[in-house]
Amino acid sequence: MKRPDFLIPYEAIEFRKITFVTMKSAHFILALSILALASPFAYASDPSPLQDFCVAINDPKDGVFVNGKFCRDPKLAKADDFYYSGLNVPRNTSNPVGSTVTPVNVAQILGLNTLGISLARIDFAPNGGLNPPHTHPRATEILLVVEGTLYVGFVTSNTDNRLITKVLYPGDVFVFPQGLVHFQFNVGNTNAVAFAGLSSQNPGVITIANAVFGSNPPINPDLLVKAFQLDKNVVKNLQSNFWGPNN
């Protein structure tokens, strides 16, 4: 039988109180530590810079490593570090999907490093030029149509998977939220051109068909048969096609 508290010595009672408070404090500190460790992952993919700029360099000599790139000494920065020319030139769209993406990110403009923004020109062939369904894992995209007529859209995440679409004309703007599958399709009989702004210096792109059927090494066909409910010969045929990027 448990001994009543009034029969327990005063020192033992105080020890229990101290132990209880100490355990509660330890749990609080542990929870706070977990939140502190998790908090950086809640921010945008490109953190705000703490300096005016950080011109990227490929050679680490005399550089400082910041956000994926080494930085040149700011005193050595020049105008060409922030410059790109040629987005006025139409691109060749003679490829299987009938579109070409010309990216302007930190790989083309070294001065974009740490600035959290990039740009792309997209050219579409007439009558069905397509920028296939894809995602940008690190960026939201805002698209401006300057020529032609585009049918664009994105699909919301599970479980709704709702398709949101719009037909765009020159001067129209449309936004694709970060990470969602989206596309652009030329429904006109002339060339189409659009410019996209992206909220990352390196937004990344995952073209769905390329990733699923053109991975290296290939995904096990049995897995894709079950996932897509397709005949195995169809899956193997899709995997045997050339899945090249449109940029």
pLDDT tens, residue by residue, 205-216: 999 999 999 999
Sequence-ordered list of residues with C-beta below 8 angstroms from that of 99, at least 6 positions apart, any chain: 93, 122, 123, 124, 125, 129, 130, 131, 184, 186, 246
Q: Give residue 158's identity as a one-letter amino acid code.
A: N
| Whole-prediction pTM | 0.77
57-104 confidence digits (pLDDT tens): 876 665 555 556 788 888 999 999 999 999 999 999 999 999 999 999
Strand partners, 66: 69
C-alpha to C-alpha distance for 85 and 240, rounded to whole angstroms: 37
3-class DSSP state of 16: helix
C-alpha to C-alpha distance for 119 and 104, rounded to whole angstroms: 5
